[in-house]
Amino acid sequence: MAKVTVAFYNAYQGFLFQGESANDHALGSYAPRDHIAAVRAIAPSDDFVLCLAEVPFDSPTGESPLLDAHQLVSTVHHHYIKFPLERSWLPGIYTYGLAIAATFPVLSVDRYRVRAPSFNCTGPDGRPWTLHDKGALTITVLVAGRPLSVTCVHLFPAFHFGTSLESRAFREPLEALERRILATAAPEAIICGDFNNRDSQLRTILPNLFARGSFRNSISGPTLRGLPHQVDYILWRGTDLVCLGGELWPGKSDHSIVLARFELP
């Protein structure tokens, strides 16, 4: 029986969060090593897949990740897949996006950009904000001779723009995302991410993942600092994949680290 631990963490672009709640937007110092230490405190030495959102990259093409994969995964046998998505609004960071670090052999990679509808607002820093594209990064790894797909998702913060992910403006990009995930997912599959669904049920905004895809949630509980909302999830499905349970761990951002343990015969 092969064991697989999957964790997801929104890394807050490498900065420390210093507020009482996620609504504070309290930006501390740039300290990627503190984020790395928080992840390594819960990471097993092997059989691990770590999914990350808001990973800072120090070039527009994402050639050199500032959250170093060699420090994130406590083994020399690892794979690190990057997906820079948008230009950062924070000082010193060119782009940020998704990344997955895995200790299993990687069979395939799929990067999918979720196109943003047109929304603008004034951000918490007082500057104009434009809603940017988000994305999904899927890898298929080999576990005990069997393919297992893991998808890392980051969705739109619609609440910042005075709207909801249930708005008709998001229906087309979210349905396209569902189609892409279901087309690339293996029969044994895991989906995790920050879905930014503060005002909506996940089953409402992504119904096909649950109806057609037969995905189930591994963990329930608030994942935003000081707020009652769950926006970070680890979903799973499979004929033989077994979920042993999910856990919430404190991180250094405004999000908790979500973790789930699985077995695959």
Task: State the DSSP string of 198-224.
Answer: TTS-HHHHSHHHHHTS--EES--S--B
The answer, yes or no, to whether residue 7 has pLDDT greater than 80, is yes
The answer, yes or no, to whether residue 169 has pLDDT greater than 80, is yes
Instruction: Please state which of the ranges 124-128, 183-187, 199-203 shows the lowest mean pLDDT.
Output: 124-128
pLDDT of the residue at 96: 87
- Given the structure tokens 């990471």, which residue do they identify? 43
- Please tell me the pTM assigned to this model: 0.92
Please give the average per-residue pLDDT across 70-86, as a whole number: 68
Superfamily the domain 2-264 falls into: Endonuclease/exonuclease/phosphatase (3.60.10.10)
Mean pLDDT of all residues belonging to the chain = 88
Q: What percent of the chain has pLDDT over 90?
A: 63
pLDDT of the residue at 213: 82
Q: Which residues contact 115 (CB under 8 A, 6 or more apart)?
A: 133, 173, 176
CA 143 to chain centre: 21
Kindly report, residue by residue over 128-167, the tens digit of the pLDDT: 889 999 999 999 999 999 999 999 999 999 998 999 999 9
Give 113 or 90, the one with higher predicted confidence: 113
**Quick one: pLDDT band at residue 64, thresholds 50, 70, 90?**
low
Angstrom distance (rounded) from CA 74 to CA 139: 20
Give 71 or 245, the one with higher predicted confidence: 245
Give 44 or 148, the one with higher predicted confidence: 148
The answer, yes or no, to whether residue 100 has pLDDT greater than 70, is yes
Task: State the DSSP string of 150-202.
Answer: EEEEE---GGGGT--TTSHHHHHHHHHHHHHHHHH--SSEEEEEE---TTS-H
